Amino acid sequence: MSVLAELEARSNSSCELCGAQKSLHPYQIKPMQTGGIDEHLLACTTCIDQIENPEKTDANHWRCLNDSMWSEFDSVKIIAWRMLNRLKNEGWPQDLLDMLYLEDDVLKYAAATGEGLSEDEKIIHKDCNGALLSNGDTITLTQDLDVKGGGNFTAKRGTAVRNISLTHDNAEHIEGRINGVHIVILTKFVKKSFPKE
């Protein structure tokens, strides 16, 4: 069974956040770990757009979390926690946050994106030129790197690494795949690739 089919079955073909029944898509929470069903939820395009684009967040839309935060699925509770933290200055989200319980490992995962932290509390990842790095970015290596394990090879300068993930507790580390091998890369050896206009 596909991830989409499993999500549709468990959610009764409804957005697991707001209950909408149209324009539904699997949404993988970040940072990606195993990629399995437990890291996904079924969400509508409105919810996904606001999760991904904080400037578009409509606080009233997220009053739906009053119900969905009680989901039995950690992926739903993680997004509920993140959105309530983003909106806590509105007042009512703080009341919900005070009631929302997450196991320690789930809470650590929920906090991995830095949602709810002030700018000076966040771990900021920057490339060798000082450009901000985000989960999902493409970077280019700025020097040859010896990769141990998984075949022992040298990743050449100029190699592109797509869909990186940030190490939530270390601003100098990012993770990515080179030649199919998952590795940790130091940010001082990478340059962010920007899409061509």
At position 35, the amino acid (one-letter code) is G
Asked if residue 108 lies in contact with residue 115, where contact means CB atoms within 8 angstroms, the answer is no
How confident is the model over 157-174, as pLDDT tens digits?
999 999 998 887 788 999
CA-based diameter of the chain, in Å?
53
3-state secondary structure of 22: coil
Distance CA 87, CA 98 (A): 13
Structure tokens at 164: 């990186």
Tokens of 161: 């690494």
Does residue 143 sit in the same domain as residue 107?
no
- Tens-place pLDDT, residues 42-73: 999 999 999 999 889 999 999 999 999 999 99
Confidence of residue 151 (pLDDT cuts 50, 70, 90): low
Residue 41 has pLDDT above 70, yes or no: yes
Per-residue pLDDT at 146: 87
To the nearest whole number, what is the mean pLDDT of the chain?
A: 88
Q: Tell whether 58 and 17 lie within a shared domain.
A: yes
- End-of-domain residue from the set 64, 98, 113: 113
pLDDT confidence bin for 122, thresholds 50/70/90: low
Distance CA 53, CA 159 (A): 29
pLDDT of residue 143: 93
Domain residues for 33? 3-113
Find the distance separating the first CA and the last CA of the chain, reported in whole Å. Answer: 39
Q: Determine the 3-state secondary structure of 161 from DSSP.
A: strand
Q: What percent of the chain has pLDDT over 90?
A: 56
User: What confidence tier does 197 reach under pLDDT thresholds 50, 70, 90?
Assistant: very low
Segment 178-191, tens digit of pLDDT: 888 888 899 999 99
Judge whether 53 lies within some domain.
Answer: yes
Domain match, 8 and 84 both: yes
pLDDT at 31 over 80: no
Residue 150 has pLDDT above 80, yes or no: no
| Mean pLDDT, residues 80-87 taken together | 94
Q: Is 62 exposed, middle or buried (0-12, 13-18, 19+ CB in 10 A)?
A: buried
Beta-bridged to residue 191, according to DSSP, are 140
Q: Using CA atoms, how far apart are residues 9 and 13, in angstroms rounded to an integer? A: 7
Q: In 10 A of CB 114, how many CB atoms?
A: 16
Bridge partners (DSSP) listed for residue 143: none
The residue-averaged pLDDT of 133-152 equals 85
Q: Give the total number of structural domains in the chain.
A: 2
Q: Are residues 100 and 148 in the same domain?
A: no
Asked if residue 127 is part of any domain, the answer here is: no
Q: Are residues 109 and 143 in the same domain?
A: no
pLDDT for residue 19: 96
Read off the pTM: 0.61
> Using an 8 Å Cβ cutoff, are 133 and 192 in contact?
yes
Question: What are residue 33's phi and psi, to 5 degrees?
Answer: -120, -85
Choose one of 74, 96, 113: the last residue of a domain. Answer: 113
